[in-house]
Amino acid sequence: MKKKVLSLLLTLALLLGLSGAALAQESVILTFWTPTWRQAAEEPIIADFMAQNPDIKIEATFYTSEDMKSKTKIAASSGTLPDMWYNWGGVLADFYAENGLILDLAQYAKDNNWSEKYLAGAMEQCTYDGQLIGLPQNLAGLVMYYRVDLFDQFGIAVPTTMEELEAAADVLLKNGITPFSSYNKHMMRYHEALLEYYSTKEEHDDLLLLKADWGKSEAMTKSFKKLKEWYDKGYFPADILASDTSTAKMYVYSGASAMIMENPGMASEIVANNYDLAQYGWFAFPSSPEGKGRVSAYAKMVQFNKNISDEKLAAAMKFWDYYYSDESLEAHPAIEQPTARIGAELPENYVLAQGLLELIDENGSYFTMDLKVPAEVMAKYFSVFDQVLLGTIAPENAGAEIQIDVENYKLNN
């Protein structure tokens, strides 16, 4: 009798085991590559999602930003891209579309009414050559964060035009405060805003898309001239050409500088570091002669492997719906903001970025230069940029110098 019971139990256990294994085999496994700076936020989201959806398994691999860029390219060349991966957008994302490696989400978006779900600006930034090359995650714009206390101390009103901005900078400079903080690569932000100021929207867009001649652009010359003038006057910190983003921000936090052109990450950083919120505010860079103009913006996205199955895609979309659901946003405050979803409210730690998305919506946006212009051309741009500031290249010749590399790039691609 005992033997019979034992064999029955063993058979039952075997059957349960087999059915469990069968169930496990049926679960969808999604591979996902994402940067390490998102790990703290994404690990708990993934764990919570998998707990709620035991039939979906997400295998996330976290890489540093540089590794993320190089490893996805290596994987692309060896045909081992994951099911989905994070991308900063612009040319970094276009590369995978140009080479036919991503799933075009245009039809999926149409079928699932993404236009009612995602901000139009974000969708536009994720579009390349008519394809929707990724699921929009974040929409970020660059604005001027400033020290309210310093402005108050020297009786400066928030500038709304270029003339007012320069007048404010002069007052600050006279009082021993460096008006603008930045570092060499981010000086581009001031330059592209000046380029937007001096050019028409069409010309600026054509320059970014390499359709217009950088050497023949008057706006290019004027913007370089203005930047050189600002640099020579001492509007920027002395170590600008060899500084870094944290040092540049530190100058603002310490009050050595009064303004910095930054993305919304600055708003959350101020909160995270327990700085006095009352001391900080933001305003739009006067990028048009009328005052407010288009904003430099970029959208971060998730791209999907062109070989992803329908079943995996459905599981992936379920995950992203959960990722940005009210439940998840409340449970995981570390999720990067502002999200690209329509109607999404900014959390408390982004209180300083309130109104930013509305600004982009109202005034439109242009692509942040280093995300749209090919890296090869940007490398030359940064070198020429340094040389203009150092006085070894005249602002009048800067555009022509860059155009040489634009032509080379076009010739080779």
Partner 1 sequence: MAPGLLIYSSMVVVPAIYSVVLSFFKWNGIGKITAVGFRNYVNLFTRDTVFQIALKNNLVWIVLTLVFTTSMALGLALMLNRSFKGRTAYRAIFYFPYMLSWVVIGIIWKWIYNPNIGFLDEMLKLIGLGHLNITWLSDPNIALYCVFMAALWQSTGQPMLYFMAGLQAIPHELYEAAEVDGAGTWSSFVHITIPQLRETFVIVFATLVISAMKVYDVVYVMTEGGPANSTQTLASYMYSQTFAFSNLGIGSAIATVMMVVMMVVIIPYVLFTTKQD
* 128 belongs to the binding site for partner 1 (CB under 8 A): no
* 392 belongs to the binding site for partner 1 (CB under 8 A): yes
Provide, rounded to whole angstroms, the least separation between the CB of residue 186 and partner 1. 12
Which of these ranges, 129-137, 139-147, 222-230, 238-246, lies near partner 1 under the rule CB under 8 A? 238-246
Q: Give 197 or 235: the residue with its C-beta nearer to partner 1.
A: 235
Show the site string, 90-119: x = touches partner 1 by CB under 8 A, - = not: -----x---x-x------------------
* 37 belongs to the binding site for partner 1 (CB under 8 A): no
* 256 belongs to the binding site for partner 1 (CB under 8 A): yes
Which of these ranges, 26-34, 202-210, 281-289, 385-393, lies near partner 1 under the rule CB under 8 A? 385-393
* 36 belongs to the binding site for partner 1 (CB under 8 A): no
Give a three-class secondary structure readout of the chain.
Answer: CHHHHHHHHHHHHHHHHHHHHHHHHHCEEEEEEEEHHHHHHHHHHHHHHHHHCCCEEEEEEEECHHHHHHHHHHHHHHCCCCCEEEECCCHHHHHHHHCCCECCCHHHHHHCCHHHCECHHHHHHCEECCEECCEEEEEEECEEEEEHHHHHHCCCCCCCCHHHHHHHHHHHHHCCCEEEECCHHHHHHHHHHHHHHHCCHHHHHHHHCCCCCHHHCHHHHHHHHHHHHHHHHCCCCCCHHHCCHHHHHHHHHHCCEEEEEECCHHHHHHHHCCCCHHHEEEECCCCECCECCCEEEEEEEEEEECCCCHHHHHHHHHHHHHHCCHHHHHHCCCCCCCECECCCCCCHHHHHHCCHHHHHHHHCEEECHHHHCCHHHHHHHHHHHHHHHHCCCCHHHHHHHHHHHHHHHHHHC
Provide, rounded to whole angstroms, the least separation between the CB of residue 270 and partner 1. 21
* 374 belongs to the binding site for partner 1 (CB under 8 A): yes
Which of these ranges, 32-40, 123-131, 207-215, 378-386, lies near partner 1 under the rule CB under 8 A? 378-386
Show the site string, 332-371: x = touches partner 1 by CB under 8 A, - = not: ----------------------------------------
* 131 belongs to the binding site for partner 1 (CB under 8 A): no
Provide, rounded to whole angstroms, the least separation between the CB of residue 234 and partner 1. 11
* 70 belongs to the binding site for partner 1 (CB under 8 A): yes
* 184 belongs to the binding site for partner 1 (CB under 8 A): yes
Provide, rounded to whole angstroms, the least separation between the CB of residue 178 and partner 1. 9
| Binds partner 1 (CB under 8 A): choice among 5, 238, 278, 411 | 238
CA atoms of 223 and 203, how far apart (whole Å): 13
* 77 belongs to the binding site for partner 1 (CB under 8 A): yes
| Binding-site ranges for partner 1 (CB under 8 A) | 69-70, 73-74, 76-77, 95, 99, 101, 184-185, 237-242, 244, 247, 251, 256, 374-376, 379, 382-383, 386-387, 390, 392, 412
